[in-house]
Amino acid sequence: MKWFDTPIVRAFNRMFRHSNFFIILVICLLTAFLVWPVLYIIAQAFWSDGGFSWVYVTLLFESEVLRESLGNSLWLAILTTIGCCVISIPLAFLFARYEFKGKMALQGLLIVPLILPPFVGALGLQVWLRKYGPINLTLMGLGIIDEPIDFLGGGGFLGIVWVQVLHLYPILFLNLLASLFHIDPTLEEAGVSLGASRFRLFRTVMMPLVRPGFVAGAGIVFIWALTDLGAPLMFNYPFLLPVQIYNMINDLNANPMGYVLVVVLLALTATFFLATRLGNRSVAMTHKGQVRRVPKPVHGLKKWTILGFIIFTCGFALMPHVGVFLNSIAEKWSMTILPAEVTFGVYQELLLDPLAMNAIKISLVLSVFSTVIDIFFGVGIGYVLTRKTFKGRVLFDVLMMMPLALPGIILAFGYVATFSGSWLDPRYNPLPLLVIAYAVRRLPYMVRSAVAGFEQSPVVLEEASYSLGAGMIRTYTKILFPLIIANVVAGGLLCFAYAMLEVSNSIVLAMKESFYPIAKAIYMFISLGNNMASAMGVVGTVVLAFALWGANKALGGRLGRLFKLGV
């Protein structure tokens, strides 16, 4: 008897074909590990003396430190968004409008910062921007300045802005570039023929048409900068909401202000997320005979000016990557532009250090388990969204995408508060919650990947299989899964890679040294002043880079379409 005909398989066939069991299971799990922790935090923030109260919110605005942290967080998000706009807008227009040699290679280099999380990038940027770092020494050597410039000003605040801008500008750049390529160039030509100046054309025609991509990209940049925990910790800058929340986690029972801070951060995130969605109506219209934009060749001085700007931007964007690598191999690097002595011995030490090797092992195990969970549920959810019709389908789809809009620090805080005292309490063994947190945070990647695969798979093949008497399990394993295997591989690689370098949940939930994943180990090495942190950052970055490269190859170079943000 084939395994397809066993009683268990027949039971699963009936269960999934004739009931909503899978949908109910997914909703229950996400309610327990996504919705309930958020609701618990909100309840605790407004509950005092046995009833509803605003007392904790009032105390928040009476505290000078917390008011300053709130203001700094908003200011950080605004400056980061402005910085990303300054870099991304001219780059997107240049790449959309002109054709030149080496264009694809340069575009690839401009996207590289996405593979280095701000948490690791801060290590490299501190090397360049420190008081007597390479940049200040070069400027003083050339006689441009007499005294070092404080590039990290405000106790490290500007350094955080630098890191966030260099990491996040590719998101805005890619969204703007996609939007520009969807604009009918005849609209621009019509404006020129009517005598409009370049600036007026940009203001009245181009910007309104690219608004969806711009608003979506800028919104993600703003929210990410507002809620990031890793970079502020690396710069040891405490006056930001995520850091204040992190500092209050171990004092939840005695000090309920942590709940209020999380609610404030959640409210800000939700407000800006909804604002980007509600105010993001496209004015572009697709019509019959629409002409696709074809970049124009550029020559002479104009070509070299454009190339010079792009190459300078690439070099600027890759500073953190180069800095992390140089710091990992520097035996001696003080008061010199480049390391005075170089050694690769730190990587040998990495292999012998118990904390480092245990962290790598823990991250590998956690990432594998969370990825398996994401594949199982993500593919199933993708099938339901593309093949089933049921009441509440839109709300179900929104629930699947919620983890993308929920900052990691909020989810981690919610887990600590909600499961305190239970068998899932991270103070004793954080591994179960770390697996769950990694899986929940990356589930949307797998869902989007699976949905893309199922939408490209002919439904008639599935119907033919059913008509010949095959059950759902057999149809799925023999027909559907082989058709979407590239999407499963791509989504799985992304889930695995980003789980390996997950920051907020790793730092918050891993409270014992024996359970430290890579991100928490890097943070601990920094506190010890050990350049092994840079070596671990390099290892993590290489893992992420290969995973993204493999995912892109699996999808035939179409990875970006799975995570298109400008719609």
**481-500 helix and 431-455 helix, angle to the nearest 10 degrees:** 140
Q: Is 36 in contact with 43 (CB distance < 8 Å)?
A: no
| pLDDT > 50? residue 258 | yes
Q: How confident is the model at residue 3 (pLDDT cuts 50, 70, 90)?
A: very low
Instruction: Work out the average pLDDT over 282-304.
Output: 65
Indicate if 325 and 371 belong to the same structural domain.
no
Q: How confident is the model at residue 87 (pLDDT cuts 50, 70, 90)?
A: very high
Using CA atoms, how far residue 310 sits from 103, 138, 166, 317, 549, in Å, is 10, 22, 14, 10, 23
The pLDDT score that the predictor gives to residue 1 is: 44
Indicate if 364 and 328 belong to the same structural domain.
no
Closest C-alpha among 82, 73, 103, 421 to residue 261: 73
Residues in contact with 318: Cβ distance below 8 Å, sequence separation at least 6, in sequence order: 109, 112, 113
Residues 114, 189: Cα–Cα separation, whole Å: 35
Per residue in 134-179, pLDDT (tens digit) is 888 888 888 888 888 888 887 789 989 999 999 889 888 888 887 7
Confirm whether 430 is domain-assigned.
yes
Q: How confident is the model at residue 289 (pLDDT cuts 50, 70, 90)?
A: very low
Q: Is 218 in contact with 172 (CB distance < 8 Å)?
A: yes
Burial of 253 (0-12, 13-18, 19+ CB in 10 A): exposed
Q: What would the two tokens of residue 260 be?
A: 């209020």
Closest C-alpha among 339, 272, 356, 287 to residue 537: 356
Indicate if 318 and 398 belong to the same structural domain.
no
Residues in the chain, total: 567
What single DSSP character describes residue 148?
Answer: -
Per residue in 356-399, pLDDT (tens digit) is 889 989 998 999 999 999 998 988 888 888 877 778 778 888 88
Residues in contact with 109: Cβ distance below 8 Å, sequence separation at least 6, in sequence order: 314, 317, 318
Indicate if 336 and 364 belong to the same structural domain.
no
Burial of 29 (0-12, 13-18, 19+ CB in 10 A): middle
Q: Is 328 in contact with 531 (CB distance < 8 Å)?
A: yes
Residues 507, 412: Cα–Cα separation, whole Å: 9
Indicate if 288 and 434 belong to the same structural domain.
no
Using CA atoms, how far residue 214 sits from 4, 170, 221, 269, 397, in Å, is 50, 12, 11, 18, 24
Confirm whether 52 is domain-assigned.
no
Confirm whether 57 is domain-assigned.
no
Per residue in 13-51, pLDDT (tens digit) is 555 555 577 888 888 999 999 999 999 988 888 877 777
The pLDDT score that the predictor gives to residue 160 is: 92
| pLDDT > 70? residue 470 | no
Confirm whether 211 is domain-assigned.
yes
Domain residue limits at 522: 345-567
Question: Above pLDDT 90, what percent of the chain?
Answer: 13
What single DSSP character describes residue 182?
Answer: T
pTM summary value: 0.83
Final residue before a domain boundary, out of 321, 343, 365: 343
Indicate if 521 and 448 belong to the same structural domain.
yes
Indicate if 404 and 434 belong to the same structural domain.
yes
Q: How confident is the model at residue 440 (pLDDT cuts 50, 70, 90)?
A: very high
Residues 490, 311: Cα–Cα separation, whole Å: 30
Confirm whether 359 is domain-assigned.
yes
Confirm whether 557 is domain-assigned.
yes
Confirm whether 42 is domain-assigned.
no
* Mode of pairing for the β-strands spanning 330-332 and 296-297: unpaired
Instruction: Work out the average pLDDT over 64-72.
Output: 89
Instruction: With H, G, I as helix, E, B as strand and everything else as coil, classify residue 403.
Output: helix
Indicate if 491 and 528 belong to the same structural domain.
yes
| pLDDT > 80? residue 262 | yes
H-helix segments, 112-206: 118-129, 134-141, 157-181, 185-193, 198-201
Indicate if 188 and 229 belong to the same structural domain.
yes
What single DSSP character describes residue 205?
Answer: I
Final residue before a domain boundary, out of 315, 343, 371: 343
Confirm whether 21 is domain-assigned.
no
Element (H, E) at 477: none
User: What is the residue-averaged pLDDT of the chain?
Assistant: 80
The pLDDT score that the predictor gives to residue 562 is: 46
Per residue in 91-146, pLDDT (tens digit) is 988 888 888 888 888 887 887 787 777 777 888 888 888 888 888 888 888 888 88
Residues 430, 437: Cα–Cα separation, whole Å: 10
Indicate if 289 and 356 belong to the same structural domain.
no
Final residue before a domain boundary, out of 343, 376, 404: 343
In degrees and rounded to multiples of 5, residue 20 shows phi and psi of -100, 30
The pLDDT score that the predictor gives to residue 290 is: 52
Torsion of CA 450, 454, 455, 459, to 10 degrees: -170
Higher pLDDT, 530 or 459: 459
Q: Is 333 in contact with 346 (CB distance < 8 Å)?
A: no
Residues 209, 282: Cα–Cα separation, whole Å: 7
Residues 225, 227: Cα–Cα separation, whole Å: 6
**Which residue's structure tokens are 């945070």?**
441
Instruction: With H, G, I as helix, E, B as strand and everything else as coil, classify residue 407.
Output: coil
In degrees and rounded to multiples of 5, residue 338 shows phi and psi of -120, 160
The pLDDT score that the predictor gives to residue 564 is: 45
Indicate if 418 and 329 belong to the same structural domain.
no
Indicate if 372 and 333 belong to the same structural domain.
no
329-342 burial, b at 16+ Cβ within 10 Å, e below that, comes to: bbeebeeeeebeee
CATH number, position 397: 1.10.3720.10
Q: What would the two tokens of residue 319 be?
A: 């500073």
Tally of structural domains, the chain: 2
| pLDDT > 50? residue 482 | yes
**64-97 helix and 207-227 helix, angle to the nearest 10 degrees:** 140
The pLDDT score that the predictor gives to residue 275 is: 74
The pLDDT score that the predictor gives to residue 497 is: 79
Q: How confident is the model at residue 538 (pLDDT cuts 50, 70, 90)?
A: confident
What single DSSP character describes residue 293?
Answer: P
